[in-house]
Amino acid sequence: MNIRAWVSAIRLRTLPLALASIGMGSFLAAANGFFQVKILVWAAITTIFLQVLSNLANDYGDSVNGADSSHRVGPQRAVQSGVISLPAMQAGMLVFGVLSFITGIVLLAVSVGLGSRLFYWFLAFGVLSIAAAYSYTAGRKPYGYAGLGDLAVLVFFGFLGVGGTYFLYSQQINYLVLLPAYAMGALATGVLNINNMRDVEADSRAGKHTIPVRFGRARAVGYHWFLLLSAIGAAAGYVLNRPFAAGAFVWLLGVPFLLYNGYKVTVVEDHKDLDPYLKQLALSSLLFMLLFGLAITL
């Protein structure tokens, strides 16, 4: 087994962004007196397995469907380069699909209880998450090729990732939580948008109709600014709807990093040079989550 190839295919740099959603939901729960370590641990493990499944399926699907080709700009993919075979990648997807299902069951058991009505609702969400992780670029009709990847990221990294995590702690509906949930989802969508801007040439050739492919660079840049600024606005809306606290605006320290990302995405002329800012936004989103969490829990 080529360990280095598998580590590359897992794409470790995407994991902090996935964990940021769980972190935001956990901070929101802690701010309202619902935090439990065991829920955090199992939610984080399940999220990691789902993200790895998504990354492996993305490697597999894009190779099969032609988006990973000699025209691709980003890091070399394992299946397309031949370092991991198609059957081996399929086996890897199966392993992480099963792992995410098992740890998801444990997560529900420690949060809402086995056999409860909520258990079956969240089990359905879990199965949907596994299916979404696989079918983004794999399967007969991958929704990523229809341009629906942005919506899926907003939902799964934002509303379900943050809001669902908060509900597992509290078992209560708090509509204000939708504001920071949207913020994290929008930032995660921004990461995807940079990825799609970088790969616009290969995606266009493969018939992958992302927003940059459909609408061009100028509108993709405007869309990127909308995602960043609306995320900041949503976070501000949540803070302003809470009782004032001395550290309530410490999260603003993370805003310049988001604005810097928007600036660089705007001024970089060659889409091949966008890759560093994908990582920069992912890390900035993680920092934003941590600072926001401190702001609401101090």
Is the Cα dihedral 136, 280, 186, 204 positive or negative? negative
What is the identity of the amino acid at 155? V
Residue 201 confidence (pLDDT): 87
Would you state the structure tokens that stand for residue 67, as one six-digit string? 């988006």
pTM: 0.91
CA-based end-to-end distance of the chain = 47
pLDDT averaged per 10 residues in sequence order, the chain, 298 residues: 80 87 96 95 95 88 63 61 83 93 95 90 89 81 84 93 95 94 97 92 85 92 98 96 84 97 94 90 95 93
What letters, b where the CB count within 10 A reaches 16 and e where it falls short, cover 158-181?
bbbbbbbbbbbbbeeeeeebbbbb
196 neighbors 188 (Cβ within 8 angstroms)? no
What is the identity of the amino acid at 240? L
Domain boundaries, the chain: 3-297
Residue 68 confidence (pLDDT): 52
> Diameter of the chain by CA atoms?
56
User: Among candidates 82, 57, 80, which has minimal Cα distance to 202?
Assistant: 80
Q: 110-158: per-residue pLDDT in tens?
A: 999 988 888 999 999 889 888 888 888 777 778 888 888 899 999 999 9
- In terms of Cβ atoms closer than 10 Å to its own Cβ (0-12, 13-18, 19+), residue 226 is middle
What is the C-alpha separation between 271 and 200, in angstroms, rounded?
A: 8
Dihedrals φ, ψ of 155, to 5°? -70, -50
What is the C-alpha separation between 20 and 296, in angstroms, rounded?
A: 15
In this structure, the chain runs to a length of: 298
Residue 3 confidence (pLDDT): 81
183: CB partners within 8 A, 6+ apart:
24, 158, 230, 231, 232, 234, 235, 238, 288, 292
